[in-house]
Structure 1
Amino acid sequence: MTLRSPRTLRPARGARARVHLRYLDPDKRERRVAAAAAAEVCFEDALPARTFSSYAGQWHTPGKYWAASTDRVLGYESFLESKWMKLLDFDTDVAAFSAQPFLIEGEEGLWVHTPDLFVRRRDGSVLVVDVKYDARIDAPAVVQQARWTEELCARIGWDYAMVGEPASLRWATVSWLAGYRRPLRVGKSLADPLLQLARSPVAIGRLVSFQPVPELARSVVYHLMWHHKLVFDATRPLRDHTTVRTACSGGEA
């Protein structure tokens, strides 16, 4: 069946005991695959299996996130989900990811679940992620759902994680650099000179001081850090004295 636009997929009535995954392919066609064959599907390209309503006073904060790693706009259900999208977008081990990638129909329709994120790593392996606020992560229903999903993922050959609030320091760093993830326009000509200057480790403050317009150079430095062209110690707070160095030469920023 061809759908005019992505929509929320509904569980099929009378689903058989075998677990199936239902999803929307990139052409907006509804598909259904047995769990045993799910590893063959590129769910990182799937459209959202469900959509989110937006209304005044709602507790969740749905929105859209542009992923720099795939040049794709993804919808999220909550601000916490958007945090994990940014973290995945920054992760060098991640090749691509999608949101609400499929609807799981399991055990005669008694178990229905849509995971939050599907992650394809650069080595081809898969991580399925559910995002829950810390206050709910230990709730019995959430724990049971996570156990069933983890068992299903293990049968398929995927990894699974239930995540809550990310580590505060890593989130502070990634969220700051995410503001500079978009392609360079003004300041693009500074990228190569800055990479040359950082061939030996140098503090951010000193690096930008070499340029006629330090604040413009600073935005380029942060862009290069987001894209891992300048490497740094992410386990320490990001400051002017943070040391950066060029990861590799060549290539366009």
Structure 2
Amino acid sequence: MTSRSPRTLRPVRGPRERVHLRYFEPDKRARRVAAVAAVEVCFEDALPARRFSSYAGQRHTPGKYWAASTDRVLAYESFLESKWMKLLDFDAAVAAFSAQPFLIEGEDDEGRWVHTPDLFVRRHDGSALVVDVKHDKRIEVPAVVQQARRTEELCARIGWDYAMVGEPAPLRWATVSWLAGYRRPLRAGKPLVDPLLRLAHEPVAIGRLVSFQPVPELARSVVYHLLWHHELVFDPSRPLRDHTLVRAACHGSET
């Protein structure tokens, strides 16, 4: 009887990962991670995965935005993108966010694809949101729809939320853009913080609240600063006016 050579068990190979994310760490080191491991990466701290230049005659208006929530300066590619940076910066649920956080290198039944999302958002509860910003007229373009579908499917697999956004609601944008002018740290008005919060123990109109102070003009800027930082709360579904009721946050939710 002839002896047979023993069989060699071959390792069972799982399906090949077809999507990877390329990104830069805060120390500028380039990294590449499989989608299945992306949930472990703090993309809110990542440097931009791509650069964009400014030149005469271009349609977009690139620039930089200082985020009060993280004390970081972030580059944006368009004015619309800067609007959403302000909206996220104002959102009390948002802990941090980054711009152009990673480059997606994917492959599916339709072929290879690449995409760099506009924003990555980390919420205080640890959850994450990936945002693409598109002008309203482009959201229904077939190539944009396909890109959004692929990105949303990827995010769902990782455990992130996904949103494609256009122009923000006019009232919300008007309120947030106004308050954003008062988001920086206080200087001369800092001593007014505690008195104003005490006076707002119960709901009080902004006009009446500032009138209690010797210098109403300075008090008004402090009130707007406290509204931005959610130390004073109000009803954001209504226009911000002198008769808007505000209240110290420690005494409940929005008025």
Alignment of 1:1-253 (within 5 A): 18-107=18-107, 110-248=112-250
Question: What 5-or-longer segments of structure 2 have no aligned partner?
Answer: 1-15
Equivalent pair of 2:87/2:176 in contact (CA under 8 Å): yes
Return the alpha-carbon distance in structure 2 between the equivalents of residues 142 and 175 of structure 1.
28
Equivalent pair of 1:119/1:127 in contact (CA under 8 Å): yes
CA shift at 1:69, angstroms? 0.5
Question: What 5-or-longer segments of structure 1 have no aligned partner?
Answer: 1-15
Return the alpha-carbon distance in structure 2 between the equivalents of residues 198 and 152 of structure 1.
46
Return the alpha-carbon distance in structure 2 between the equivalents of residues 134 and 128 of structure 1.
18
CA shift at 1:17, angstroms? 6.4
CA shift at 1:83, angstroms? 0.5
After TM superposition, what 4+ stretches of structure 1 lie above 6 angstroms from structure 2? none
Larger Rg: 2
**Percent of aligned positions that are identical:** 85
Superposed CA deviations along residues 174-221 of structure 1, whole A, max 9, x for unmatched, are 000000000001111111111111111100000001111111100000
Return the alpha-carbon distance in structure 2 between the equivalents of residues 158 and 198 of structure 1.
38
Return the alpha-carbon distance in structure 2 between the equivalents of residues 157 and 140 of structure 1.
25
Equivalent pair of 2:129/2:161 in contact (CA under 8 Å): yes
Return the alpha-carbon distance in structure 2 between the equivalents of residues 239 and 58 of structure 1.
37
Superposed CA deviations along residues 44-79 of structure 1, whole A, max 9, x for unmatched, are 000000111011111100000011001111110000
Could you tell me which amino acid in structure 2 is paired with residue 142 of structure 1?
A: V
Equivalent pair of 1:153/1:159 in contact (CA under 8 Å): yes
Superposed CA deviations along residues 134-181 of structure 1, whole A, max 9, x for unmatched, are 011110000000000000111111110000000110010000000000
| Number of equivalenced pairs | 234
Equivalent pair of 1:17/1:106 in contact (CA under 8 Å): no
Return the alpha-carbon distance in structure 1 between the equivalents of residues 199 and 17 of structure 2.
62
